[in-house]
Chains A and B, each alone.
Chain A
C-alpha cells in the first residue's frame, strides 16, 4: 500500500496573519508533484506546516498521512511516518559532525517506537556501522560532496550549493516515503540543479513520492512531474499535468491574475 499524504482544506496562519486559505492536495508514494507559485503565495508555509514547524498555526482543515491526521504531531513523529523536508535555508549546527548527525537521524527515523536515551546503547541498529559508512560514502559521491564533509560540522561554512546538496544527501540516507523539497533550486546554478535533480529523480519512484516546491520551471526539466499545481494567494489555483509548467513558463505568473480562479480540486 503506497504511503499517501493528503492536505484537506488547510487554513494556516502565522502571528494572526492568514497565509494558507484552503489548500487541497494529495500526494502518494510513486508520484511526483510540483507546486509552483509567485513569491508570497504560501509555498514555504505549506512545506513547513507539513513538517510541523511550531510557528505556523493550523486554523482549520487537516493533514493526513495514510488517512491519519498528523496535525497534532511534532516534527520527529512526522519524520518517523515517512515525511522528509529538504529545507530552503538549511540550519547550521555548530560542533556536530555531519556523519554523526546522519547516523543519529538514521537511527531515529528507522528505530522502532520511542527513542531510548536512558539505556547504555541505542536500541535497534538498523544496519551496522560499517554498512552505514559505506552507504554514506556512496551517497556523498552521488551528490558530489567531498568525503571530508563527513567530519565537517553540519552545514557550518558550507556554500549555498553544498548546503542544498547536503539536504539531498540526508534525503538519500533517510529514504523517506514522501519527500518535500522547499525551493531546493533557489540559489543554485544550472549545473548544481541538474546534479541534485538527477539524484532525486533516481530516488523518485515506487519507494519515494516527491513534492517539489519551486518558483522556476528549470528543475522540472530533470525531475519530471506527473502533476503540476499552481499556488496563488494561499490556495491551489489550478492543477494539471506537466504541460501546465510550460504554460507558466511562457506566460509568467501574471497570467494567473487575469484568469478567473477555477474551482478548487
Chain B
C-alpha cells in the first residue's frame, strides 16, 4: 500500500466522494492498537464504540486459540490486513481471480456485472436501484434496513442499546477480533407487529466496502414482528482475505419470528470462523437455516437462547465438504425458560477426502420445565477417503425434559445407484440425485431461486468441475 501524501494526489482522477479517503492512513498488515484506533477514526465513531473496540482488542490478545475444532495453526494474524479502503479493493484485477471461480460463474449463469463483484473486483454491485426502492417501501412501515456503519450513525440509541448484548467480545477469540475490527454487515429493525413481506437479502445492500472479512450484523425484531433475512449466495465468492470472522446478533422480542438463512460458499482458501447467536423471548421463534459449501475451514455453531416461556428454536444445517475442506458446524440451543422447544437437524456430505463435523450443544437449565427438544444428524460419505464426526453435548438439568437424538452415517448403496442408473441416469446424475435428495429437508426451506441454484451447484460439485 503506497502511502498517500495529500499534496501528491491528482484529485481529478478520483471523481467520487468517499468517506474513507477523507483521512488517508497507511494500513499495514497485522493488528495493533493503532490500527483499531484508526478504523474507528475513519468511520467517525462515537467514543463508546472506540472503547468497545479497544477492550475487545485487549481481550483478543489475551485469549488463546481454541484447542478443539478445525486446524487453525496456519492462521497468521500478523500477515493479514484488517481493513481495506474501497479504493484499494477497486484496484484488484479480474485476471487474478482463479479460473475455477470464473468457470463456476459461467456454469451457474451469473450475469457479467455480478461476476466482477463476486470476484472481489469492481466497485459496486449495481443493485443500488433495487435497494433504494425497497428501502422506500420498508421505510413506510418503519422498518430499518441498512448497513451497520450507517446504523451506528443514524440510530445511535437503538444501536447502543442492543449492540454486543447477545455476543459479548469476551465470548471467544474470534468474537473479540470481530468486535475490535468490525466493518460492514446489516442492521435491521422491525417495529412491533410488522411483517416484512419479502425476504431481505444482504445482497441488496452489499458493496465492496460492506462485504468484508469482519462483518457485524444486528437484527432487532420487535414484538410480534416477522422477518426472513438471507445472507450469502451459492456462487463462490473469491476473496484474497484468508480469514472471515463475522458476528451476527439477533434479538427476537416476545412473539417475534425471525428466520436467518445463510448459504456460504467462500473460496477454498478461506477460514470462515463465525459467531451467530439469537435471543428468543417469550413465544418468539428463531430459525437458523445454515448452508456451508465453501471455505477451507468453517467453524460455525448458530445458537439460540430461549429466554421466555413458549419460545421456539430451530437450527437446520447442511454442510458439504469436498477435497481439502473441513466443515465444522452444528448448533447450540440453551433452554433458560420453561415450555420451550427446539429442534436441530444437521445433514452433511463428505467427498474426495473432505471432512464434516457436527458439533452441537443442548443445554436445559434448572427451572426450565417442560422442555421438548430433538436432534437429528445424518452424514453421507461418498467414498472411503472422506470423514465425518459427531460431537453432541447434552447438559440436561431437569427430569421432565423430553429429548431425542438420532444420528445416521451412510454411504450411497450400490443398489440405489444401480436402480437410478437403470432408468437412464448416468452415474454422476444418479449420485447428484441421491445427494440432493439427502439434502432436501434443507433445500425445501429455501426460496425457490436459491434452491434451484443450490441444486445446480451440487451437480457441479458432483461432476468434480468445481475447485
A76 to B414 alpha-carbon distance, docked (Å) = 14
Contact A75/B437 with A91-B415, A93-B416, A118-B107 known, Cβ cut-off 8 Å: no
Q: Contacts A55-B414, A74-B427, A108-B429; is A95 near B107 (CB within 8 Å)?
A: no
Are B426 and A79 neighbours in the complex by a CB distance under 8 Å?
Answer: no
Q: Does A192 contact B (CB under 8 A)?
A: no
Residues of B within 8 A of A52 (CB): 418, 421-422
- Known contacts A93-B437, A95-B438, A96-B440; decide if A105 and B416 are in contact (CB<8 Å): no
When C-beta atoms are compared, the residue in chain A nearest to B434 turns out to be: A93
Tell me if B465 and A118 are in contact (CB < 8 A): yes
CA–CA, A51 and B423, complex, Å: 10
Report Cα–Cα, A79/B439, bound state, in Å.
27
Whether B419 pairs with A90 at a CB distance below 8 angstroms is yes
Cα of A6 to Cα of B423 in the assembled complex, Å? 21
CB of B436 within 8 A of chain A? Answer: yes
- The interface centre, meaning the residue of B414, B415, B419, B423 with most chain A CB atoms within 10 A of its CB, is B423
Greatest chain B CB density within 10 A among A55, A76, A94 is at A76
For B463, the chain A residues whose CB sits under 8 A away are: 117-118
Q: When A75-B422, A79-B422, A79-B424 are in contact, do A91 and B429 touch as well, CB less than 8 Å?
A: no
- Counting CB contacts under 8 A, is A222 at the interface? no
Contacts A87-B419, A95-B439, A104-B429 given: A120-B459 contact, CB under 8 Å? no
Q: Does A241 make an interface contact (CB < 8 A)?
A: no
| In-complex Cβ contact of B423 among A48, A54, A74, A170 (8 A) | A170
Quick one: which of A64-97 are within 8 Å of B by CB?
Answer: 74-76, 78-80, 84-85, 87, 90-91, 93-96
Which of A95, A115, A118, A153 has most B Cβ within 10 Å?
A95
Q: Is the CB of A115 within 8 A of B423?
A: no
Residue of A nearest to B430 (CB): A76
Q: Mark B420-456, 1 if CB is under 8 A from A, else 0.
A: 1111111111101110111111000000000000000
Q: Is B46 part of the contact surface with A, judged by Cβ < 8 Å?
A: no
In the assembled complex, the Cα of A51 lies from the Cα of B416 at a distance in Å of: 14
Find out whether the CB atom of B428 lies under 8 angstroms from the CB atom of A93. Answer: no
CA distance A87 to B415 in the complex (A): 11
Inter-chain contact B438/A76, CB cutoff 8 Å: no
Q: Is B109 interfacial (CB 8 A cutoff)? A: yes
Contacts of B436 in A (CB 8 A): 95-96
Task: Bin chain A's interface residue count.
Answer: 20 to 34
Q: Which of B413, B422, B425, B430 contacts A51 (CB 8 A)?
A: B422
How distant is the Cα of A201 from the Cα of B131 in the complex, in angstroms?
A: 61
Total contacts A-B at CB 8 Å:
96
The majority secondary structure among interface residues of chain B is helix
Q: Give chain B residues whose Cβ lies under 8 Å from the Cβ of A90.
A: 419
Q: Does A135 contact B (CB under 8 A)?
A: no
Cα-based distance from A104 to B420 in the complex (angstroms) = 10
Chain B: which residue is nearest A118 at the CB level? B107
- Contact partners of B427 in chain A: CB under 8 A: 74, 76
Interface string of A221-244 (1 = CB under 8 A from B): 000000000000000000000000
Q: Does A174 contact B (CB under 8 A)?
A: yes
Taken together as a complex, chains A and B put the C-alpha atoms of A95 and B427 apart, in Å, by 18
A109 within 8 Å of B (CB atoms)? yes
Distance in angstroms from A15 CB to nearest chain B CB is 13
Closest to A111 in B: B424
- Residues from chain A with Cβ under 8 Å of B424 in the complex: 76, 79-80, 105, 108-109, 174
Chain B residues positioned under 8 Å from A78 (CB to CB) = 422
Asked if A79 contacts B419 (CB within 8 A), the reply is no
B455 to chain A, nearest CB (A): 10
Given contacts A54-B414, A104-B429, A104-B433, contact A94 B440 (CB under 8 A): yes
Listed A/B pairs (25) with beta-carbon separation below 8 Å: A54-B418, A55-B414, A74-B421, A75-B418, A76-B427, A79-B423, A85-B422, A87-B419, A93-B419, A93-B437, A95-B439, A96-B433, A96-B437, A104-B425, A104-B429, A104-B433, A105-B424, A108-B424, A108-B429, A109-B423, A115-B425, A115-B428, A117-B432, A118-B460, A118-B463
Residue numbers of B with Cβ under 8 A of A are 107, 109, 413-416, 418-430, 432-434, 436-441, 459-460, 463, 465
A contact residues vs B (CB 8 Å cutoff): 48, 51-55, 74-76, 78-80, 84-85, 87, 90-91, 93-96, 101, 104-105, 108-109, 115, 117-118, 120, 153-154, 170, 174
Q: Besides the contacts A93-B416, A104-B423, what 9 more A-B pairs have beta carbons closer than 8 Å?
A: A54-B418, A79-B424, A84-B422, A87-B422, A96-B436, A108-B429, A115-B428, A153-B440, A174-B423
Q: What 6 A-B pairs are tightest by C-beta distance, nearest first?
A: A95-B437, A95-B440, A108-B424, A109-B424, A105-B423, A75-B421
